[in-house]
Chains A and B, each alone.
Chain A
Amino acid sequence: MDIINEAMRIFTDAGIGDAVRVTLAMALASVTISALLGIALGILLEQCHFPGKRILIRINHTLLGIPPVVVGLLVYLLLMRNGPLGAFALLFTIKGMVLAQIIIITPIITSMVYSYAFTTAPAVRAFAVTMGASKWQTQILTIKEMKYEIYFAIVTGFGRAISEVGSVMLVGGNIEGRTRTMTTAISMLKSQGIYTEGVTLGVLLLVFAFILQWAAESFQKRELENENY
C-alpha cells in the first residue's frame, strides 16, 4: 500500500498527471493537423508535375533533419508579443506548441506518404482507369490502398510529438499545469537534482513508446499479410 501511496503522491506533487495530459493533448492535436496536411501534400506532390518540384522535395527532406530547437526559436520569434503573430497571444500556450510541432512533423508524414505513393499510386491509377472510376473515386482508392502505410506514418509522427523537448520548452515555456509536458518536466526535474519523478515520467514515456511501436508493427504485419494474397 505504501508504494501505491508514494506513487500517488509523486504523481500529484510534481504535476505529473498534468504533464501527461498536456503531452497527450499537444501530441494528438499536432498529429491530427500534421496528418491531414502531410497526407494531402504527399499525395498531391506525387500527382502534380510542375517546375521546381525536385527542389521542393529536396527542401522537404532538409526539413526532416531540422533541429527542433531551431524550429522552436523561429516559432518563438513569430509568436512574441512584438512579433508578427503576437496579437494572437499564442506564446506559452498549447496552441503555440502545436504550431511548432506541425512544422516538425508535417515534413515527416509528407515524405513517408510521398515515397509510398510514388511506388504504388501509378499502378492503382492505371487499374482505376481501366475500371472506369471517376477522379474522386481514384483518389479514394489510392488512399485506401495506402492505408497501413498512412497509419504507420501517423504513428511515427505521434512518436516524434510525445518525445519532443527543445521546441516545446522554448515555445511552451514549461509552465506548470499549462504547458509543462512530460519531457520538459524530466529536464526540469533533473536540473533540480530530483531523479525519482523524472524516472517515473521516463518509464511512462517508454510505455507509450512501446505501445506505439507495437501498433506500428501490427500495421506493418497486416500489410505484409495482405500483400501475400
Chain B
Amino acid sequence: MKKFMTIISLMLFSLLVLTACGQSPDKTTGEKTSQNSGAGAVEAKGVLLMSTTTSTQDTGLLDYLAPIFLKDTGWKLQWTAVGTGQALKMGQDGNVDIVLCHAKASEEAFVDKGYGVKRYPVMFNDFVVVGPAQPIAANKDIHTVFDQINSQQLPFISRGDDSGTDKAERAIWASLKIDPKTNANYMKSGQGMGDTLAMASEKKAYCFTDRGTWLKIKNDSTVKIDLDIICEGDALLKNQYGVIAVNPQKYPKVNNQAANDFINWICSDRVQKLIAQYGVDKYGQALFTPNAGTNS
C-alpha cells in the first residue's frame, strides 16, 4: 500500500517536530499542475477567451472540444473555469468574449441587462443527490429525499459558493418550501464540486452534484469515494447549459466574430453529435445531452 508508506513516513515526520531528540530523513513533496492547450497546424486566427463553469473543465469536455474547434475554425479556445456567478461577472466586466454556464435565470438577466447578445441553449446534463447508503433508500423523488434529510437532521454538504450547482440546489429547497438551515448538520463548503464531494465522502454526508463531476470523481479519485447515488431522474434535477456572446456594443474590444463562430459551431449538428458521444467510452454513459435549437 503506497498510501501507508506515505503515512508512516509522515508520522515519523511529525514525531520529529514533536520530540527534541529524534532523527528522520527529510522529506519533501512536489506538486505539479499541467495546463491544457489545444494544438493544431491550421491557420490560426487568434484567441477566443471564454469564462465557464468548473463542470465543463472538470469533466474534460473543453479539452475534448477545443482542438476540434481550432481545426474547424482557426480560433484557439482559451478558458477560465470558475463558478457561474463569477463566470457571468467576468462577462459583465467585459473581460471575456463568451460565457458558457448553467443558470438559466441568471443568464437571461445577463442578456436583459445588455451585457450579452443572446442566450443559446447548448446541452444539458442532470444533477444527482449522492450520499451514504443508509439511512435514506435510493429514490426517484427529490422531494422525499430532501424532506428526509431535513427532518432527520442528516449531514448535508452544500457548495454554498453561488455557483450554478449551488443555485440549482437552493432553487430546489425553495420549490419544496424547506429551509435547509433548520438542519443543524447542513454545511457550506464554499469550494468546488470535486472538493465538496471528497468532503462529503469523508463526513458520510449527502451532497447535491452534477452527474459529470460525480462520475469523474467517483472514477478517478485516488481515495475511494464512499457514496452512492440516492436520487436521480426527477424533473427538477435537469441542468441546462447556455452560451452567450458578450455584447460588442458594450465592450467593443471583445472578439465577437470568434464568439459567433463558436456559437454556430457548437450548435451545429456535427458538434452536437460529438457532445452526445463524449464520455461514453470512459464512463459507460454520455456526460451531456445536446439540445441546441430547443427552447430550454
Verify if A174 is at the interface (C-beta below 8 Å from B): yes
Verify if A80 is at the interface (C-beta below 8 Å from B): yes
Verify if A215 is at the interface (C-beta below 8 Å from B): no
A55 B23 Cβ-Cβ under 8 A: yes
Q: Please give me the residue from chain A that is nearest to B88 by CB atom.
A: A193
Residues of A contacting B: mostly: helix
Interface size on A, residues (CB 8 A): 45
Q: Which of A41-49, A117-125, A151-159, A218-226 contacts B (4 or more CB under 8 A)?
A: A41-49
Verify if A137 is at the interface (C-beta below 8 Å from B): no
Q: How many angstroms between the C-alpha atoms of A84 and B14 in the bound complex? A: 13
Interface size on B, residues (CB 8 A): 45
Q: Please give me the residue from chain A that is nearest to B13 by CB atom.
A: A74
Interfacial chain A residues near B28, Cβ < 8 Å: 62, 66, 70
The answer to whether A176 and B190 touch (CB under 8 A), given A70-B29, A193-B86, is yes
Scan residues 165-213 of chain A and give those whose CB is less than 8 A from a CB of chain B: 169, 173-176, 178, 180, 184-185, 188, 191-194
Verify if B245 is at the interface (C-beta below 8 Å from A): no
Interfacial chain B residues near A80, Cβ < 8 Å: 202, 223
Contact of B7 among A41, A63, A83, A176 (CB under 8 A): A83
Proximity string of chain B (191-213) to chain A, C-beta cutoff 8 Å, 1 when within and 0 when not: 10001000101111000000000
Scan residues 1-19 of chain B and give those whose CB is less than 8 A from a CB of chain A: 3, 6-7, 10-11, 13-14, 16-18
B23 A191 Cβ-Cβ under 8 A: no
The answer to whether A77 and B26 touch (CB under 8 A), given A192-B83, A193-B89, is no
A192 B187 Cβ-Cβ under 8 A: no
Interfacial chain B residues near A84, Cβ < 8 Å: 7, 11
Q: Which of B188, B204, B224 has the most CB of A within 10 A?
A: B188
How far in angstroms is the closest Cβ of chain A from B29?
5
A48 B14 Cβ-Cβ under 8 A: no
A48 B26 Cβ-Cβ under 8 A: no
B16 A59 Cβ-Cβ under 8 A: yes
Q: How many angstroms between the C-alpha atoms of A63 and B16 in the bound complex? A: 11
Contact of B187 among A52, A59, A70, A176 (CB under 8 A): A176
Q: How many angstroms between the C-alpha atoms of A82 and B199 in the bound complex? A: 13
Proximity string of chain A (24-53) to chain B, C-beta cutoff 8 Å, 1 when within and 0 when not: 000000000000010011001100101010
A193 B189 Cβ-Cβ under 8 A: no
B86 A173 Cβ-Cβ under 8 A: no
B17 A106 Cβ-Cβ under 8 A: yes
Q: How many angstroms between the C-alpha atoms of A56 and B85 in the bound complex? A: 49
Verify if B261 is at the interface (C-beta below 8 Å from A): no
B20 A180 Cβ-Cβ under 8 A: no
B191 A37 Cβ-Cβ under 8 A: no
29 A-B pairs with C-beta separation under 8 A: A37-B17, A40-B20, A41-B20, A55-B23, A59-B24, A70-B29, A74-B10, A77-B6, A77-B10, A80-B223, A81-B226, A82-B223, A82-B224, A91-B203, A92-B203, A103-B14, A103-B17, A173-B191, A173-B199, A174-B191, A175-B157, A184-B190, A185-B190, A191-B83, A192-B85, A192-B162, A192-B163, A193-B86, A194-B162
**Residues in B lying within 8 Å of A, measured CB to CB:** 3, 6-7, 10-11, 13-14, 16-18, 20-24, 26, 28-29, 31, 82-83, 85-86, 88-90, 157, 160-163, 187-191, 195, 199, 201-204, 223-224, 226
**Residues in A lying within 8 Å of B, measured CB to CB:** 37, 40-41, 44-45, 48, 50, 52, 55-56, 59, 62-63, 66, 69-70, 73-74, 77-78, 80-84, 91-92, 102-103, 106-107, 169, 173-176, 178, 180, 184-185, 188, 191-194
Query: Other CB < 8 Å A-B pairs besides A103-B17, A173-B191, 14 of them?
Result: A56-B21, A59-B16, A74-B13, A74-B29, A77-B10, A81-B202, A173-B199, A174-B191, A175-B188, A184-B190, A188-B161, A191-B83, A193-B85, A194-B162
